[in-house]
Structure formats: C-alpha cells, structure tokens
Structure 1
Amino acid sequence: MIRVVVVDDEALVRSGFGLILNAAADIEVVATATGAQAVAQVREHRPDVVLLDIRMPDVDGLTVLRELRSRPGPPVVAMLTTFDTDEYVLTALHSGAAGFLLKDTEPEQLAQLVRTLASGGVVLSPKASRTLLRGHPGTEPAVVDQEAARVERLTDRERDVLVLLAGGLSNADIGTRLHLGTGTVKDHVSTILTKLRVGGRVQAALLAQRAGLLDTGPDEPDDTK
C-alpha cells in the first residue's frame, strides 16, 4: 500500500485528491494538511509520497519541501501547481522535489503518477517541462555547451536509459523495456548521473529535456550495445 499525504491550502483540492487516490486499491491517503500542518502530519504518518502545493498563504511549499528534505528518510515529494510556467517549480526541482503535477491532471492518470513516484520515478510532464525551461533558460551559453558535451559522453545505451528515466520509469520498468537486469540499470543510472554531473534523477531529466533528447524515444533494444 502506497501511503500519501496531500498538502494544499484549499479544502476542496485536498478532499478531491483524497477521493480520487483512495479509489485505487493500492493507494491510501493517510492525511491531508495545510502548509502549516504539513511537517507535523508527515512526521506522524510517515507517508511514502507527499503531494505538496507550491503556493500556500500560511507556509509555502518550498519552505515545507526544504524542511522535509532536511529530515532523515524523507518521503518522495511532488509539487502541485496550477501553472505549467510557475517560476517556483524549477526551484523546487533543484531543491529535491521528484517532479510536479498540474492540479488539473486527469483523475485516471493521478494514481499512476503516484505509483511512478513511489517506485522511484520522476514525474515531469514533457509539455509542461518544455514550457518551464523555455520560460527559464536559466543558464549561460557556456554552461549549455558544457551540458551538451556531457550528454555527448553518454553511450547509446545510457541515452536510452536516460530518456526512459526522464519519462518517469523506475529502474525495474526501464529494465523491462530494455531487457536489462535491474542491477544493470542501477549501474547505468549511477554512471549517467556521474557523467552529467547532476545530483539526482530529476536534474538528469531536466538536462535531457534541455538537450532535446526527449523529442524522440529511445532506440529499439539492442542487446549488442
């Protein structure tokens, strides 16, 4: 059972997400909270996943995120927002969030996105993340060139893994798609993070998006690679 805490300043959003997620047989919303209540609720209920509103009037989502990330064994956190160009999203992703969800996400997709987060995947809407990155080019040309050079150092198989990682797949799911063992995928991911000089899967996914790797899918599996 995947344990979830929903944090939002609007009671209607909290109850709506709770109803949708509790309808899934493998997900339980163990608590809902406002920003001011969030840290205490997470500490009490120890969820696997926290869905955290990024903009709240009492305590904002970035403050809650930093507090949760500073504690040992933090849950996976995904930010909730109504805007795919929200300037705070990129800050949240670089502060340890595992992705972001738009509040108008289709109900039938919501449970699967929570499963993706719980299994170690990232949740980045390709359309939204492209818009976000266009709105926040954020880096000097020299840095972009350095990032492109790092991507060029990846092998074909590592690029395949990176594309699937950025699509939200867990190591096990990537292994299934590419006919690789989970341990092998884990080794590939570790090597990718080292070569790209990033601290986690979300940063790798953002770099892949910026490099244009997500415009096309991975190559067909080739066991000779």
Structure 2
Amino acid sequence: MEELPFSSQLAHALVLRDVQQYEVAGPVVVVNLASSDALVGHGQSSALPTFSSTVLYGGTITGALLAVLSLETIPNAEQIARDLGWVDFYGGRPGHPVLLRSAQHTIGTVQLDPAVVLRQPGLEPGEKSFAVKANLWFSPAGTDCGIHNRHDFIEVHTQIAGLGHMQKFTSPEHATLYEDQQLSPGNTNPVPFCLEREGTFVYPWHQYRADTDCIWLALEYHLS
C-alpha cells in the first residue's frame, strides 16, 4: 500500500499493488489501473475491468494495480486546493476558467494492448508498455474547462466529488457538441475515446465540464 504524494484532505489517495482480498472501509472510489480485471465484492466477487471504477462501502478488493480514493464533499475545496499549492492551469488569466491541478505522480508501468483497451478495429494486436501517471483536478460549478484535441497518451477521468461531464465536439466550438458522458462520484468515462495512429494517440475535440464544484482524477497512460 502506497499513499500518493497528492493525497490530502480533498481526496485521500492510495495505490494498492498485487493485493488479495484487501478489506475496504468506505465510502471509497476504487479504480482499476491494470490491464487485467480486478475483483470487488462481499462474499461474492464481481469483475472490475480495466479503466473502470466503482464506489465501495465495505467488502474486499483483489487486483494487480488499484487506486483507492476517499469519497467526500469538502466545503471551500477551491481555497484548500490553492493552499495546497495546486497549479492554476491557465495562470489566472482574464477570460480563462479556473482549472487547478495537483502535482502529478508516476504510479508504475503496465502492459496494455491498445487494440483491446481502445476497442479499435483493424489495429495490429500486441501488448505495449505504458507508464501510468495520475493527478487530481478541481474546477468550480459551471466551468467549461477548455475544448482541445491534443494528447500523446491514453487518458481517462474518474469523478471523485461533484457532477461533471466529458464532452466531445466536431470543432472547437461549444455549439458542435455531439456526445456528453455524464460523471457522478465513482464514475469513469467508459472507454478511452482516442485512436492510436503511428505511435501517437488521436482525439476528437473534447473537454471536461463541471456542473458543480468538481474534483476528478486524471489517469494518463504514456507509451514507454
């Protein structure tokens, strides 16, 4: 068991490695970071697939690589995040949203087959090595965090506090919204929505949107 460096009163964050029947005291968000299914339950276990999460109030978890984060609603989260030294992504520039980011931590390395995890037809199957990096983000209620389409890694988001969305667009204009994946505490957007092309990853225009004050976990898988 390892406490992540960005763990705080906003979200206590642990990583579990190669655990068998680890006892959970909840409520906590459990995220499967590995390429194999984890198992969660109480007496009767069920699968927790790669890139998925759930909220547990008790029971046990078994898995190769798991993140476990406290599930709480913290008043004054923005001020606490600033006091903790979270970076303002846009630098507080006028006209830009409030988007605060914790320090990032490299959790470890996993073997993933992009053809499987990206559900991408026609991609040559084969496992590749990925470095797993994680950090937390905060935005206040009503924030559009910025439409973009550039990442050189596979990314998924897990909601920790508040109600948010992952949204897709056909251009960098809000009026071109075509898909809205809603996130409540404990949800992860279901499938990474990038394609692998010639050693990098291609995304549609997309953004995170916060309906309420939100904290979410960003997981990045970088080709090693």
TM-score normalised by length of structure 1: 0.28
Higher relative contact order (CA 8 A, sep 6+): 2
TM-score normalised by length of structure 2: 0.29
